[in-house]
Amino acid sequence: VGDFDSDGWLEMYSQGGVNGLAASRLPAEPLWYHRLADQGLYGSITDTRFQGLADIDGDGHTELGAGLRKGEFRCYDAANGDLKWSVYIGSPTTDVCAADVDGDGTDEFLFGTENGYLYALGSGKDDPVLWKVDLGAPVGAPIVVDLDRDGIGEILVVTRDGKLQCLR
């Protein structure tokens, strides 16, 4: 929840059931909805994922990043729901978070995948993948925190093989 289109009103972004993404202006004014058909988000209402929100291209406007169950990651303009770009990842993703992990002053979308990778995606329409790291087991949702208080965030993820991994 936040004022992501800078109009003075709060907006809320959510998963619209298991087959869509939705945006509403609070308290209850629908802004946009994308039905994702067979791509969907996930199989049941209890198997949901959080989308990431950040200005990843530095244009002063918020983008929404969402991973789909058939291996596609999409970036939408959060204000109007227009698709800005998509990239095929090849695996369902975890929740998406956003943080500046390359030190350029602009956030990137971060997420893990069921096939064992941690991804960082930036604003490039042609190739938004900044990097991916093979962690050897399905990856949980990442969080970014400055563990050592040096002003640079570390990425923490758990993997299905029982490890807590810290990446810098």
- pTM across the whole model: 0.81
Q: Give the domain ranges of the chain.
A: 11-167
Q: Which overall architecture, per CATH, does domain 11-167 show?
A: 7 Propeller (2.130)
Residue 46 has φ and ψ, to the nearest 5°, of: -85, -5
Q: Is the pLDDT at 50 greater than 70, yes or no?
A: yes
Contact 29, 75 (CB under 8 A): no
Q: Supply the pLDDT for residue 10.
A: 82
Q: Which residue has the higher pLDDT, 11 or 137?
A: 137
Band of pLDDT at residue 44, cut at 50, 70 and 90: very low
Q: Rounded distance, CA 80 to CA 75, Å?
A: 12
What pLDDT digit, counting tens, does each position of 17-29 carry?
556 677 777 877 7
Q: Which tokens go with 42?
A: 């996930």
Q: What is the mean pLDDT of the chain?
A: 84
Q: Supply the pLDDT for residue 46.
A: 41
Cα 117 to Cα 34, 44, 120, 133, distances in angstroms: 27, 23, 10, 5
Nearby residues of 96 by Cβ (< 8 Å), 6 or more positions away: 49, 50, 51, 52, 65, 66, 67, 109, 110, 111
Spatial CA neighbour of 10 closest among 50, 53, 45: 53
Q: Supply the pLDDT for residue 45.
A: 41
What pLDDT digit, counting tens, does each position of 127-155 carry?
899 999 999 999 999 999 999 998 888 99
What pLDDT digit, counting tens, does each position of 73-89 carry?
989 888 888 899 999 99
Q: Supply the pLDDT for residue 100.
A: 92
